[in-house]
């Protein structure tokens, strides 16, 4: 890469970094996960390391945290509130320790104060003559916001210290956080507990802060009038004796391998804590050594944060629930103790299917490792059998549908010659409540009828209120009743009405897709619409074995035909289609008249020269012809390319069907 390009790339990363800072710190509404944010930061730092000419005052190497918000008065920290460097692997810890030995020219071992790194936001409390005089946020590390009144609402923060050995003036620093339990109550509003704490703490009105219960744990000091503390561990004990809450899991350890062991164990049990921890902080315990070590530009040399994985975490399965999908598939879902994985709080993990549960022997009460990467649904990667309780029982997958009580089956797949891994409810219609709700959600979805004022949550609510039972009920809603519901204003009701009205005109393929027939996805729906042309023809498929005709269309196989038959065998399904036909205006497929191949059907066998099958098909269709996929009396022309299937050619000959070479077909076309 050229220098200019590198600079351009760097500047765009800085710009993005500033944008996400603002979203995170000022708006409390991040649009990327914490780990994506960390990655962005490390890309910038790496670029700077590699290309020394890169430099920007807004770089994360210069900025700590984010500039204070305009809504609060500013406060210049007497001693900057810096951040910590991160370690992810044992190697990083070894490097960290080696640098300390070198810097101090030390020969003997030293101790570490090991402290859980609570994932909240730091705050500084200044006490003068035993009284809390002001409380400040970290801000950008140099200048914070005065949020004294908000901090005073936190019950863990003493307003006055009774002890007589308390310094005349001291600034206590610690972490403000929200418990997991309290976070769950407001989880719709915030991405994770940390955002919730930050949002609550920086409310303009302390009465708003009071509404979300916050906690505070103290862990260090900034400025102090009598600096005679010797050890961090002693200072933590002192904090406690003065009335501050400190972490009961703080520890004293003295070697990298014991740090690593403690870290591994803590990572496995952190789900048991009622607050989010994103790693451990290791601090040189001897405060004299800390002073000698000092700071680099934005972090102390005497401490490091050993982070937990951003992709996986251990937690406990509280329950296994069986969800029923639109096509009747029973999907087991593990309800787990909420755990923060890379900034996202996970409380559900898919267990895929019955076979997966059996293979991994997953049970209620098990401690499991969950992985969450990108957009993939969190899933269990392994069970920690050592942590299993003696009286734990094997999970028994239900043999009846948990929603409607119907029998469930595992279908035999004739292609793989195996039973499906998925168990299904055998209900084909709307009699199974869970299937019905899912089918209505599918009906309104974007590629189907597309009613954007009616989301999945609203469908569930309207179902509970018995406003809708079948798709057609959507067109008979009582808007008066809806407008009296909580959260429904005039505008939202009129938006809903508008989008429902708008959805009435629909193309045939979307209509077919909206019915949610198993194995009939959007592509198959298009093929069927192309074949049937009108809604009436489609409906007529339900009569007199007409569906079998579909077998001859390219792209439709036995599976789809069987599924359509099942669908039309159900009386409620037929009623739904009939009713929808009377409400909706389903646009017929344009029937091209007068095309060269009108009423003519074609089939291809063998490889064509210089033209793909798809193009050949579309040429036929543009000329009003149709494509079939098997040789029968209904076929008019069999076009043969290179290496045709002999059986097909023979069959065509036997039936007296006209056989064309590619060249002859072209001649016919032109």
Residue appearing with tokens 């009846």: 400
Residue 235 or 568 with smaller CB distance to ligand IVH: 235
**Of 360, 358, 353, 363, residue with least CA distance to 322:** 353
> What is the distance between the alpha carbons of residues 127 and 569, in angstroms, rounded to a whole number?
78
Instruction: By CB under 6 A, tell whether 601 contacts ligand IVH.
Output: no
Q: Does 276 bind ligand IVH (CB under 6 A)?
A: no
Q: How many CA atoms lie within 13 A of 116 on its CB side?
A: 24
Which span sits near ligand IVH by CB under 6 A: 186-194, 252-260, 298-306, 463-471?
298-306
Minimum CB distance to ligand IVH smaller for 118 or for 454: 118
Q: Applying CB under 6 A, which of residues 84, 370, 425, 437 lies at the interface with ligand IVH?
A: 84
Residues near 628 by beta carbon (within 8 Å), at least 6 away in sequence: 552, 553, 554, 601, 602, 603, 634, 635
- 240 in contact with ligand IVH (CB under 6 A): no
Instruction: Give ∠ CA 370-372-374 in degrees, rounded to 5.
Output: 170
Query: Mind spelling out the 3-state secondary structure of 554-614?
Result: CCCCHHHHHHHHHHHHCHHHHHHHHHHHHHCEEECCCCCCCCCCCCCEEEEECECCCCCHH
3-state SS, residue 606: coil
Closest alpha carbon to 604 in 659, 531, 526 = 659
416: burial class by Cβ within 10 Å (0-12, 13-18, 19+)?
exposed
- Overall size of the chain counted in residues: 670
Cβ count near 108 (within 10 Å): 5
Given the complex with ligand IVH, which of 87 and 436 has the nearer CB atom? 87
Which two tokens mark 423?
């168990």
Q: Half-sphere exposure of 307 toward its Cβ, with a 13 Å CA cutoff?
A: 18
| Contact pick of 115, 276, 438, 509 for ligand IVH (by CB under 6 A) | 115
83 binds ligand IVH (CB under 6 A): yes
286 near ligand IVH, judged by CB under 6 A: no
Q: What mask of x and - would describe binding to ligand IVH in positions 155 to 194, judged by CB under 6 A?
A: --------------------x-------------------
Distance CA 511, CA 447 (A): 10
> Of residues 13, 41, 67, 117, which has the active-site annotation?
117
Establish if 118 lies at the interface with ligand IVH (CB under 6 A): yes
Options 63, 82, 284, 313; binder of ligand IVH; rule CB under 6 A: 82
Residue 281 sits in the site that holds ligand IVH (CB under 6 A): yes
Reduced to 3 states (helix: H, G, I; strand: E, B; else coil), residue 174 is strand
Residue range at the interface with ligand IVH (CB under 6 A); choices 30-38, 110-118, 312-320, 459-467: 110-118
Residue closer to ligand IVH by CB (options 303, 470) is 303
Residues 20-79 that bind ligand IVH (CB under 6 A): none
CA distance 113 to 118: 15
Whether the CB-CB separation of 352 and 331 falls below 8 Å is answered with yes
Q: Which of these segments, 25-33, 300-308, 494-502, 563-571, binds ligand IVH (CB under 6 A)?
A: 300-308
Active site residue 238: no
Residues 216-235 that bind ligand IVH (CB under 6 A): 219-220
Q: How far is the CB of 175 from ligand IVH (least distance, A)?
A: 5
What string of H, E and C letters represents the secondary structure of 371-412?
A: ECCCCCCCEEEEECHHHCCCCCCCCCCCCECCCCCCEEEEEE
Question: Residue 270 corresponds to which tokens in the numbers above?
Answer: 């952190």
Token digits for 316?
């406990």
- The stretch among 114-122, 330-338, 569-577, 586-594 that binds ligand IVH (CB under 6 A) is 114-122
> From the CB of 305, what's the least distance to ligand IVH, in Å?
6
Question: For residue 505, what is the enclosing H or E element?
Answer: strand 505-507
Region binding ligand IVH by CB under 6 A among candidate stretches 113-121, 144-152, 238-246, 350-358: 113-121
Is 126 an interacting residue with respect to ligand IVH (CB under 6 A)? no
Using the structure block, give the residue that is written with the tokens 């193009």. 615
Select 84 or 529, whichever has its Cβ closest to ligand IVH: 84
Total residues in contact with ligand IVH, by rule CB under 6 A: 14
Please report whether residue 122 would count as binding ligand IVH according to CB under 6 A.
yes
Torsion on CA atoms 648, 651, 653, 657, rounded to nearest 10: -80
**One of 41, 117, 194, 648 touching ligand IVH (CB under 6 A):** 117
305 touching ligand IVH, by CB under 6 A: yes
Q: If binding is defined by CB under 6 A, does position 300 make contact with ligand IVH?
A: yes
Q: How far is the CB of 417 from ligand IVH (least distance, A)?
A: 57
Site mask for ligand IVH (CB under 6 A), range 422-461, x = bound: ----------------------------------------
Contact 460, 444 (CB under 8 A): no
> Between 117 and 442, whose beta carbon lies closer to ligand IVH?
117
Catalytic annotation, residues? 117
Binding site for ligand IVH (CB under 6 A): 82-84, 115, 117-118, 122, 175, 219-220, 281, 300, 303, 305
């Amino acid at each position: 890469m050229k220098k200019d390009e590198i600079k351009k790339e760097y500047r765009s990363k800085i710009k993005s970094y500033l944008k996400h800072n603002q979203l995170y710190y000022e708006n409390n509404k991040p649009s990327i996960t914490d780990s994506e944010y960390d990655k962005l930061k490390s890309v910038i730092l790496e670029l700077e390391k590699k290309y020394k000419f890169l430099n920007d005052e807004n770089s994360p190497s210069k900025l700590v945290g984010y500039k204070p918000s305009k809504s609060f008065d500013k406060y210049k920290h007497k001693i900057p509130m810096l951040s910590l460097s991160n370690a992810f692997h044992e190697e990083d810890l070894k490097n960290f320790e080696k640098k300390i030995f070198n810097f101090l020219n030390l020969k003997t071992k030293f101790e570490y104060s090991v402290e859980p790194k609570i994932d909240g936001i730091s705050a500084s409390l200044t006490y003068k003559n035993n009284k809390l005089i002001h409380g400040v946020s970290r801000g950008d590390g140099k200048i914070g916001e005065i949020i004294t009144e908000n901090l005073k609402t936190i019950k863990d923060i003493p307003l006055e210290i009774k002890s007589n050995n308390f310094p005349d003036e001291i600034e206590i620093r610690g972490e403000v956080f929200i418990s997991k339990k309290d976070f769950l109550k407001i989880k719709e509003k915030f991405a994770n507990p940390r955002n919730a704490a930050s949002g609550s703490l920086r409310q303009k009105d302390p009465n708003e802060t009071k509404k979300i219960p916050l906690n505070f744990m103290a862990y260090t000091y900034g400025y102090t009038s009598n600096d005679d503390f010797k050890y961090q561990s002693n200072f933590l004990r002192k904090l406690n004796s003065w009335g501050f809450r400190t972490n009961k899991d703080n520890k004293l350890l003295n070697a990298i391998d014991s740090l690593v062991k403690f870290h591994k164990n803590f990572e496995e049990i952190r789900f048991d804590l009622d607050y989010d921890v994103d790693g451990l902080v290791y601090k040189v315990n001897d405060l004299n050594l800390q002073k000698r070590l000092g700071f680099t530009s934005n972090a102390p040399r005497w401490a490091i944060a050993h982070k937990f994985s951003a992709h996986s975490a251990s937690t406990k399965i509280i329950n296994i629930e069986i969800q029923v999908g639109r096509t009747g598939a029973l999907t087991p879902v593990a309800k787990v103790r909420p755990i923060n994985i890379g900034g996202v709080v996970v409380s559900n993990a898919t267990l895929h299917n019955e076979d997966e549960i059996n293979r991994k022997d997953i049970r209620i009460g098990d401690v499991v490792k969950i992985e969450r990467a990108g957009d993939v649904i969190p899933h269990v990667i392994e069970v920690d059998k050592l942590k299993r309780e003696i009286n734990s029982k094997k999970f028994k997958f239900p043999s009846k549908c948990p929603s409607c009580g119907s029998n469930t089956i595992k279908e035999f797949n004739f292609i793989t010659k195996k039973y499906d891994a998925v168990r299904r409810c055998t209900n084909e219609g709307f009699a199974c409540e869970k299937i019905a709700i899912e089918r209505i959600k599918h009906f309104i979805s974007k590629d189907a009828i597309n009613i954007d004022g009616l989301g999945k949550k609203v469908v569930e609510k309207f179902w509970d209120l018995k406003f809708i039972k079948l798709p057609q009920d959507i067109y008979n809603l009582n808007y008066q009743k809806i407008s009296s519901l909580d959260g429904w204003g005039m505008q939202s009701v009129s938006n809903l009405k508008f989008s429902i009205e708008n959805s009435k005109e629909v193309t045939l393929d979307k209509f077919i897709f909206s019915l949610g027939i198993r194995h009939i996805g959007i592509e198959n729906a298009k093929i069927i619409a192309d074949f049937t042309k009108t809604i009436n023809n489609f409906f007529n498929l339900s009569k007199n074995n007409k569906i079998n005709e579909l077998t001859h269309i390219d792209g439709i196989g036995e599976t789809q035909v069987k599924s359509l038959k099942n669908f039309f065998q159900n009386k409620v399904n037929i009623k739904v289609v009939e009713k929808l036909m009377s409400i909706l205006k389903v646009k017929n497929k344009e029937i091209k008249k007068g095309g060269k191949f009108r009423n003519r059907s074609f089939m291809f066998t063998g490889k064509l020269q210089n033209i793909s099958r798809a193009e050949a098909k579309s040429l036929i269709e543009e000329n009003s012809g149709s494509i079939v996929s098997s040789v029968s009396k209904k076929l008019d022309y069999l076009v043969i390319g290179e290496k045709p299937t002999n059986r097909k050619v023979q069959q065509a000959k036997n039936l007296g069907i006209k056989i064309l070479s590619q060249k002859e077909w072209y001649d016919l076309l032109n």
